[in-house]
Structure 1
Amino acid sequence: MGADHIRRWESGALAHAVSDPFGQGPLPWLRSSENYLDDAGQVVPWYADPNLARGRSGGPRTADDVHRQIKGFVSPGAALPGGSIDFHITVDPPQQFSVDIYRIGHYGGDGAAKIATSPRLAGIVQPPPLTADRTVSCHHWWLSWRLQIPSYWSIGAYVAVLTTLDGYRSHIPFTVRDDEPADLLLLLPDVTWQAYNLYPEDGHTGASLYHAWDDEGRLLGERDAATTVSFDRPFAGAGLPLHVGHAYDFIRWAERYGYDLAYADARDLHAGRIDPGRYRGLVFPGHDEYWSVPMRRTVEAARDGGTSLVFLSANTLYWQVELGPSPSGVPDRLLTCRKRRGPGKAALWREMDRSEQQLLGIQYAGRVPEPSPLVVRNAEHWLWEATGAGEGDELPGLVAGEADRYFPRTALPEHRKRILLAHSPYRDGDGAVRHQETSLYRAPSGALVFASGTFAWSPALDRPGHVDSRIQRATANLLDRICKRD
């Protein structure tokens, strides 16, 4: 396969680069040619094993979607302690492999801790993915390994690291959750992660809700993309979703400071497995663009029942989606969003007279090609207390990726009080001046609803090179109020 062809299939990841100005985040080992350094110039380990974190020569190499040295997915994506996670893995050429299980957290500055290692497992070449109308599915892959989750494991965000005997590596994220009450419930945006998944990124087969390939291996846009994508397939490239680092940034920071966190996925929200009354706040830490009707209904009911909402990204609740069963009948394994293609109703929430702003207080305004400062507004408000931020202060690089703002002609949610805490100019892709805004309102129930209005908020909490102490303190001010039911 020639270099020119490789460049074409690699462009799938590059197509989304404008919306992820933070690169690969806390995953330095995805880029073997670059060291991942903190502000003091020290290598930051994500794995507990510093040799892996530093990517030393002779260490594991990242598998790809063309050769599929080792790739896999899990079902379900979240399970309770005492439950199980099924791994479906392909290995080419066939050989033994192992699975190391890491839990994302602070762990004294490491980004994760190794929790368990599988026995050596026999790897096989699974059948090629099945495709129908651009939908790619591997639901027919054989079971490779069943992870029985011990009852004593901590709930949280986990990553399985797959490594072949000859040193190729890939990854699979999953969640361990429970139903116990907690101050805050963290919701991982697995629905949005799957919408962006272009697996297999091979210049031929893969498709997401954004892209597909033509017969020449060229990347096509939304008009030719999939309308339905499957959770029964690996994530493209190294096996971790686009923007996954935004959630991990929040987790490391929140666990470092001892917040009482529960964990769940967006599909748990969709399926009714979450009782919002068990939590003082629901936290949406990363890019969370795709929502089903049950997801929105549950979150609105949570707010109306007094549970606060914290949205730490932008472009939230933009597309309406449906979740359906796999061909074998397993629920919530297919994600459908028709966008603007074909007959039927629009898929944008705002075009159905149910704008995002009616929940968030602001809504999506557009992409931000180059990071710009976040300009503090209403600095006397308690959110900015003890941050050192004054009225009109500029927080460098804090408006990035995508931005939200208040739309004056769009309905607001019912509220007792409402305030905008940032008003930040930036230039869009055409050079026109736009504005980003950060919103906070108190619902009639007493619940607080915060929306950062920028992709850069979570990385500012705990990503080396992006940390901003003012954002850290402002976030703590918010969560402390929510946890104390103030």
Structure 2
Amino acid sequence: MSDPEKLPGIGHNVGSWPPRTISGTGAASKSTWVEIPDRNGAPSAWCYGDKRSYRPGETVRLFISATVSKLDIAIRQEGLKPTPLHHWSGLRVEFQEVPDQAYMKGCSWRETVALDLPEDLAPGAYIIEMRDPEGDDNHPALGHHIFFVRANRAENRGNTILLVASTGTWSAYNDWGGASHYRGLNTDYPHGGACPVLSAQRPWARGQVWLPPSAPRQVRKTRARQPMPPEYDSKDWAFANGYARYYASTGWASYERPFLLWAERAGYDVHVIAQDDLDLHPDCVDGYSCMAFIGHDEYWSMPMRRTVDAFVDRGGKVARFAGNFLWQTRLGEQGSTQTCYKYTARDLDPIRHENPKLMSGAWEDPLIGYPGAQTFGVNALRGMYAGVYHAAPRSTRGFNVFRHKHWSLEGTGLGYADTFGDEASIFAFEVDGLEYEFKEGLPIPLGTDGAPEGLQIIAMNWATTGEYGLPEHSYYRALEDSDARFAALVLGGDERPETVERYSRGSGMMVSFERGAGEVFCAGTCEWVNGLIERDFYTDRITRNVFNRFLGCDL
């Protein structure tokens, strides 16, 4: 949701882009950086396509800029056994300048090369890897890009997981060219230069598509054993190694790719689409019985939600192992732009008076009136942070079990009051919850915040929208109580201390419910996938239970 204002770590940039800095706001802040290519930087290459997804038989048009004169470019389908699609050897390229406000208006580069996709091409995620012809496999690639291929026909694909890559959230954190929905070079924008309109016609930031195994995750592996300032391992590593500030917050490399590898290893068939497709091509879900959402999944448009709601109502199953369902966006110009005014929506979004239901603010804002719980069972403003920054840094980082007889826990051996996933810190970063009360030792949704009738809270833990700790460590805090104040204003109507305190208390939940002819399971946390990465028994078994039920199989 938010971004650490202060960066206490010290590092030197060794990447191809020098850090362009902008002074942060606040009483004691450091500078931030964004990714802008340098013609005279280290050997590097950048790429974007005319679209984010295609059907077989369509033409992929690529726009490339590089600091070398030739590139070897390979395209492969992602998976346990990557499948080569195409290769160019010694392709002539050039450095293409980054125009002002490329983050908002696009790069407008000259087309470099095009590829006609085969009519029988398999659906999935396709990685573009760009290398220096003078190097070898021991040298790192100079850059990466990704695109998606949708299935060509609406045939029955009931035994296939449809993984939806969270491209809306990738876009929000992509600062390539000078700005994201969080930070930017243009100080005319509020909140540290956050730009409300972002272009898809630019490369992904370095680290969103590919990462080395050494890259830290957003959440530290260990908890501090005594009071200390918060530490920002991923941002320190990014600054020192020339990667994007937000690489660990979202992206294919950190979230969807590890899930895809786990699912294929477990024996599941997986197709992948861009989240944009739910808005631009809603028929792309036809024929599937199960959709999956993984990781940090924060930004959605209204048509995207309508596609998912309709899918469930007519009998589809949705598995969401993701957190932070918070902001409404709007796609424009056939998906080439994404608009989100976030905290300033009530004051600055041009549509706020004409059609407040489409205002690009928090879904739980009464002016929008479409809480995320109505689609996925949980809400972001009722949850938020755990085990990250100075927000519950000593959280147990696991789920506490309450309804141990629920079908999702079959074969786990877990009972009431057990905790699972804590060794892998799956309950961490940003989590989603509900308003609830305890009756006879069980959490019950109050139903006041959009929770569907019949929803069961299977497991949960607690979270906060505020940062706490010793006063001498306050300089290093990322957020203070800014999100608590926002939640208090939107949900409580004022920012009185008692209101802020109330909305600083949140939770994260694992829930399930039926709606229409379909069913939804949601583990509302960003870091569930780390349990799959670390092969945590409980996370693995629960995930299999969900997909086996939703696909009607036994793997």
Same fold (TM over 0.5): yes
The residue that corresponds to 1:117 in the other structure is 87
The residue that corresponds to 1:175 in the other structure is 148
The alpha-carbon deviation at position 374 of structure 1 amounts to 1.9
Residues 282-340 of structure 1: per-residue CA shift (max 9 Å, x gap): 11123221111111111111111111111111012x11111111xxxxx2101111223
- CA change 1:412–1:384 in 2 (3 A) is same
Equivalent residue of 2:364, what SS? helix
- CA change 1:393–1:4 in 2 (3 A) is closer
The residue that corresponds to 1:250 in the other structure is 259
Q: Are the aligned partners of 1:77 and 1:85 in contact in 2 as well (CA < 8 Å)?
A: no
Residues 352-406 of structure 1: per-residue CA shift (max 9 Å, x gap): 1111112111111112214612222211111000123222222211211101111
Structure 1: which amino acid aligns with 2:426? L
Of 189, 201, 207, which residue of structure 1 is paired with 2:179?
207
Q: Are the aligned partners of 1:314 and 1:403 in contact in 2 as well (CA < 8 Å)?
A: yes
The residue that corresponds to 1:322 in the other structure is 330
The residue that corresponds to 2:121 in the other structure is 153
Are 2:99 and 1:129 equivalent residues in the alignment? yes
Structure 2: which amino acid aligns with 1:116? H
The residue that corresponds to 2:202 in the other structure is 233
Of 396, 408, 429, which residue of structure 2 is paired with 1:401?
429
The alpha-carbon deviation at position 251 of structure 1 amounts to 1.0
Unaligned runs of at least 5 residues, structure 2: 1-9, 25-34, 136-140, 210-246, 436-445, 470-503
In structure 2, how many angstroms separate the alpha carbons of the residues matched to 1:158 and 1:300? 28
Q: Are the aligned partners of 1:320 and 1:348 in contact in 2 as well (CA < 8 Å)?
A: yes
Residues 92-149 of structure 1: per-residue CA shift (max 9 Å, x gap): 24x1101112322123xxxx454432232101121322427x62511x2111111222
Q: RMSD between aligned alpha carbons?
A: 3.0
Are 2:381 and 1:381 equivalent residues in the alignment? no
Of 446, 452, 468, which residue of structure 2 is paired with 1:430?
468
Of 21, 46, 70, which residue of structure 2 is paired with 1:71?
46
Structure 1: which amino acid aligns with 2:193? D
- CA change 1:113–1:374 in 2 (3 A) is farther
- CA change 1:238–1:413 in 2 (3 A) is closer
Of 515, 520, 523, which residue of structure 2 is paired with 1:452?
523
Q: Are the aligned partners of 1:376 and 1:391 in contact in 2 as well (CA < 8 Å)?
A: yes
In structure 1, how many angstroms separate the alpha carbons of the residues matched to 2:266 and 2:379? 30
In structure 1, how many angstroms separate the alpha carbons of the residues matched to 2:52 and 2:260? 18
Structure 2: which amino acid aligns with 1:373? G
In structure 2, how many angstroms separate the alpha carbons of the residues matched to 1:6 and 1:78? 33
Structure 1: which amino acid aligns with 2:409? W
Percent identity between matched residues is 25
The alpha-carbon deviation at position 263 of structure 1 amounts to 2.4
The alpha-carbon deviation at position 409 of structure 1 amounts to 5.9
Q: Are the aligned partners of 1:172 and 1:239 in contact in 2 as well (CA < 8 Å)?
A: no
Of 343, 349, 353, which residue of structure 1 is paired with 2:369?
353
Of 192, 195, 198, which residue of structure 1 is paired with 2:169?
192
In structure 1, how many angstroms separate the alpha carbons of the residues matched to 2:170 and 2:376? 21
- CA change 1:418–1:274 in 2 (3 A) is same
In structure 2, how many angstroms separate the alpha carbons of the residues matched to 1:220 and 1:228? 11
Equivalent residue of 2:323, what SS? coil
- CA change 1:239–1:97 in 2 (3 A) is farther
The residue that corresponds to 1:105 in the other structure is 79
Equivalent residue of 2:371, what SS? coil
In structure 1, how many angstroms separate the alpha carbons of the residues matched to 2:300 and 2:122? 28
The residue that corresponds to 1:295 in the other structure is 304
In structure 1, how many angstroms separate the alpha carbons of the residues matched to 2:258 and 2:277? 22
The alpha-carbon deviation at position 197 of structure 1 amounts to 0.3
TM-score for both structures, normalised by structure 2: 0.68
- CA change 1:402–1:227 in 2 (3 A) is same
Unaligned runs of at least 5 residues, structure 1: 16-62, 201-205, 326-330
The alpha-carbon deviation at position 82 of structure 1 amounts to 2.2
The alpha-carbon deviation at position 64 of structure 1 amounts to 7.5
Q: Are the aligned partners of 1:400 and 1:455 in contact in 2 as well (CA < 8 Å)?
A: yes
- CA change 1:413–1:404 in 2 (3 A) is closer
The alpha-carbon deviation at position 212 of structure 1 amounts to 0.6
Q: Are the aligned partners of 2:56 and 2:117 in contact in 1 as well (CA < 8 Å)?
A: yes
In structure 1, how many angstroms separate the alpha carbons of the residues matched to 2:66 and 2:286? 44
Q: Are the aligned partners of 2:62 and 2:112 in contact in 1 as well (CA < 8 Å)?
A: yes
The residue that corresponds to 2:110 in the other structure is 142
TM-score for both structures, normalised by structure 1: 0.77
In structure 2, how many angstroms separate the alpha carbons of the residues matched to 1:320 and 1:181? 31
In structure 1, how many angstroms separate the alpha carbons of the residues matched to 2:511 and 2:545? 15
The alpha-carbon deviation at position 440 of structure 1 amounts to 0.6
The residue that corresponds to 2:479 in the other structure is none
The alpha-carbon deviation at position 234 of structure 1 amounts to 0.8
In structure 2, how many angstroms separate the alpha carbons of the residues matched to 1:377 and 1:220? 45
The alpha-carbon deviation at position 433 of structure 1 amounts to 6.7
The residue that corresponds to 2:483 in the other structure is none
- CA change 1:150–1:309 in 2 (3 A) is same
In structure 1, how many angstroms separate the alpha carbons of the residues matched to 2:49 and 2:537? 37
Equivalences, count: 409
Q: Are the aligned partners of 1:277 and 1:305 in contact in 2 as well (CA < 8 Å)?
A: no
